Amino acid sequence: MPDCPKCPPAGAPMWLATFADLMSLLMCFFVLLLSMASMDVIKFKAVADSLKEAFGVQREIKVEDIPKGTSVIMEHFTPGQVTPTVLEEIKQSAEELADSREDLENLKQIQVEKKQAEISQQAENIKEQLQGEIDRGMVTVEVKGFKIVIRINEKGSFTSASAKLQPGFELVMDKITDSVAESEGKIIVAGHTDDIPIKNNAYRSNWELSSSRAVTVAQLMLGANKIEPNRFLIEGHADTHPLSPNDSPQNRAINRRVEIILIQNDDAVNVGS
């Protein structure tokens, strides 16, 4: 039986294969474009918000953060690299600098606390060696920041208006010298007086008297040959640094003193300064 001339040929038309190839190529082309493109997250959020309002999508919790969801394409394709702007680089550098400065401050604080603990321990050792003299009111020891102050009071040390130590105080100076020799750093020997002016054949003013008393103490410490001379610094302050107001004999006696100040090496706490 001959074929029916009005019936269409069997199978798909010939143009359909070409059309299918064209659609496949177009899909591959757009997939490649998407894989090489960078997503503008801010614009994406703006479009999503606009669509949400247009289609009436409601949420109980308002979302303020940038969407972080993934899609099938994002799981299988890597987006193109986004070159950071100058503003972003500056912002990132500022954040890294702030973090490094915070780490530096934390490190410095740890070193300061460690140094202060060492100084406090050293002061306690000096107090133990001079406990007898401290109990008799001849010497006091205290910590001021990174300094240890050994204060020689007038009681039992110097006679009035004189820079000569009283007999027997040399033994106290030997104990002070031994305790100071175990320390490090500079040693300031500073003399102080009250506010009563002095003028005699030996001293023209309280400046000379305070300086002479500091020199006497320093010479006794140097005579033991236990401390390097280049560690010493001599100062005379007269009545310019009183501990108490010069308004009574008791307070004036407190102000007449010689201080041995141990300045610790604090290089460890100057990180980043």
Closest CA to 265 of 65, 122, 86: 122
- What is the pTM assigned to this prediction? 0.59
Give CA–CA dist 126/178, Å, rounded. Answer: 9
Which of the residue ranges 55-59, 69-73, 143-147 has the most confident prediction, judged by mean pLDDT?
A: 143-147
Asked if residues 141 and 127 have their Cβ atoms less than 8 Å apart, the reply is: yes
Residue 22 has pLDDT above 50, yes or no: yes
Tell me, yes or no, whether 131 lies in a domain: yes
Average the pLDDT over each of 56-65, 118-127, 165-174 and give the range with the smallest value: 56-65
Task: Determine the Cα–Cα distance for residues 171 and 169; give it in Å rounded to an integer.
Answer: 5
- Domain contains 142: yes
- Residue whose token pair is 């591959």: 28
Most confident of 92-106, 126-140, 258-272: 126-140
In a domain, residue 230? The reply is yes
Same domain, 158 and 53: no
Residue 165 domain-assigned? Answer: yes
CATH number (domain holding residue 255) = 3.30.1330.60
Distance separating alpha carbons of residues 253 and 193, to the nearest angstrom: 9
Assess whether 244 and 131 both reside in one domain: yes
How is the chain split among helix, strand and coil, in percent rounded to 5? Answer: 50, 10, 40
Using DSSP's 3-state secondary structure scheme, residue 139 falls into strand
Does residue 81 have a pLDDT over 90? no
Cα 163 to Cα 211: distance, rounded to the nearest angstrom: 9
Residue 107 lies in a domain: no
How many domains does one find in the chain? Answer: 2
43: phi then psi, degrees, rounded to nearest 5: -65, -35
Does 47 share its domain with 167? no
* 42 & 175 share domain: no
Instruction: Give residue 238's region: left, alpha or beta (phi > 0; psi -120 to 50).
Output: left
Domain of residue 50 covers: 14-76
Backbone φ, ψ for residue 229 (5° rounding) = -60, -30
Q: What is the pLDDT of residues 187-246, one digit of tens each?
A: 999 999 999 998 788 888 999 999 999 999 999 999 989 999 999 999 999 999 999 999
